[in-house]
Structure formats: structure tokens, C-alpha cells
Amino acid sequence: MTTATDTIRPNRPRGASLRVYLPWTDSAGRFSPLVLVVFLALLTPAVLLAFDAAIGNLGPRPWNIAIHRVGWWTVVFLLASLAVTPLRRTLRWNSLIGVRRMIGVAAFVAAAFHLVLYAGEQAWDLLKVSSEIVLRIYLAIGLAALLSLGALAATSTDAMVRRLGGKRWQFLHRLTYPVAVLALIHFFMQIKADITQPILFSGLFVWLMAYRLWRNRLSDPGTGGLVALAIAAALLTATGETAGIAWTYHAPMWTIIQAHFDTAIGIRPAWWVLGAGLAVAAASAFRRQPRRALA
């Protein structure tokens, strides 16, 4: 389990206090290529969106397209922040912890921007925005997720970690899990037809939570455990998609199960989840090899 002290680094060089917040320095204020690459990756969707908006490439409903794009990226950032600890442990890549805060804050900024875009779509009529949030449950759920993310971002500074104390900080920051659940519910509820994307993200979320559960309740899953987790998450994803489609469209279950093996309709989310889980297992096995065997 990641602790609050993983997040702050007390032994900083003098004068590093502000430098640690630069998007290319690590928690000791030194230049870090990893931090810079992650920062640029987090910035890229915003740059592409600004570019498409500037050249009029967002179609006839530019606000709505922008809302969808930014909402999608918010979920990606949220899951990426949840992936830091499992990847750090399975790949034995300790410095990954140094980018978790940045990814979490990016998720909050994206979610806030998503709300601003929604206000823009409603012609900045804040009364209408408020009444829609009250009337439409999926918007209220989105707002609850956004406010919780705001609380997490506000308490993510080193000063707040120290002020709250390790245990309370950790307890508060476990809010990320229900926030991700709310975000996925919001994603499902606003979908009009194709549930492929939210199913895929839910499957990845299941893997991330199952990994935590295994590690906290049992021990380090090891390569065999990671393969078992990948298969279990993929099976749950396939079951979720099958049940969801059968329920929504009253389609026969067997046809949907068969569709999982029909590449003509695209690779179903369960296969992506299996691929991602097995990739982590393979990378972890490689990292676990003794150094002598690698030489």
C-alpha cells in the first residue's frame, strides 16, 4: 500500500521548495525526464483540442465534442493515477510515485474544464446549468465526482500531507476509488448507444482494484497471480458487457458471447483488459529476473 510519506520527500536541497512544483523536476527539485514526459503527455490532449477548436475541426456542435473529449480524458487521467501504485510495485519502478500527484491534479483540472465547457454549451446560463444538475442524476453524479476530486487536489500538497498526518491523509485519498466509480457511472449514464468505452474503462478499473485487494489481503500477487488477475478481470469485463447488452437490447446472451470472438465487429473490451493485464504480468516477470540471468 502506498503511504503518505511516499508522496513527500523531506530531504530536499536548500532553495528547492518552489522548484519541486515545476513540471520537469522531481520531489527533490532535480530535473526528471520522467516528470517532463508525463507532463507533456498530460498537456497533449489540451493542445490538440485547442488546435482543433482554432481550425474549426470540432464539427457542427463544437462545445459538445469538446465536453466528450475532455470527459474521456478525465477518466483516462483518473485511471492512470490509480495505475501508478500497481505499476510501481509490479514493475519495481519506484520513481513512478513522483508523477502520481501531477496525474491526479490533471484529472481534477480536466474535470473542472469539462464543467466549464458544459457551462459554455449552455450559453453561460448558470441558472440553467444548476437546474440541469439538480434535474439530471448523471450530472449530479459528475458534480459529486468533481467536488471530491477538488478535495483531493487541494490536500495533495506536501504541507497538507503534513498537516493532516499520514493516516488521515491516506484515508482521505482513498476517496479516489469511489470517485472513479462515480466517474464510470456518469460515463455509462450519458451513453446513448455503444457501451464499449465505459465497459473497457470499467474492466481496467476492476483489474486495478483487484490488484490492490489481492496485495492488501494476501501478499504480492507474483507473476502467476498477475496472470490470474488478468484472466479474472477479462472474464468480469466480458460478463459485464454481455449482461449490459442483453439487458439494454434484449439480445440473446449466446449471440453476444459469440460476438466476443468475431473480430469483424472490433476487438471487444475484455480482450483489451486481458492484453493489458498479461502485459503487466510479462513486464513484471521480466523485472523479477535476477540481474545475473539478464547479463
Alpha helices in 136-221 (DSSP H): 137-154, 158-164, 166-173, 176-190, 196-217
For ligand HEM, which residue of 38, 143, 185, 270 counts as binding (CB under 6 A)?
A: 143
Minimum CB separation from ligand HEM for residue 235, in Å? 24
| Residue from 2, 157, 190, 196 binding ligand HEM (CB under 6 A) | 190
Indicate whether 199 belongs to the interface with ligand HEM (CB under 6 A): no
φ/ψ (deg, to 5) at 261: -105, 10
At position 195, the amino acid (one-letter code) is I
38 vs 143 by CB, closer to ligand HEM: 143
Cα–Cα dist 118/139, whole Å: 10
Smallest CA-to-CA distance from 202 within 242, 168, 233 is with 233
76 binds ligand HEM (CB under 6 A): no
The type of residue at 258 is Q
Stretch that binds ligand HEM, among 14-22, 160-168, 180-188, 228-236 (CB under 6 A): 180-188
101 touches ligand HEM (CB under 6 A): no
Residue 145 or 226 having the CB closest to ligand HEM:
145
Q: Which is nearer to ligand HEM, 185 or 245 (CB)?
A: 185
Q: Check residue 146 for interaction with ligand HEM (CB under 6 A).
A: yes
**Using CA atoms, how far apart are residues 264 and 62, in angstroms rounded to an integer?**
31
**Does residue 74 bind ligand HEM (CB under 6 A)?**
yes
Q: Which of 8, 42, 145, 280 binds ligand HEM (CB under 6 A)?
A: 145
Angle CA 144–148–154, to nearest 5 = 145
Integer Cα distance of 138 and 143 in angstroms: 9
With vertex at residue 176, the alpha carbon angle to CA 132 and CA 126, rounded to the nearest 5 degrees, is 20
Kindly list the residues in this chain that would bind ligand HEM in the complex (CB under 6 A).
64, 67-68, 71-72, 74-75, 111, 114-115, 118, 133, 139, 142-143, 145-146, 149, 183, 186-187, 190, 197
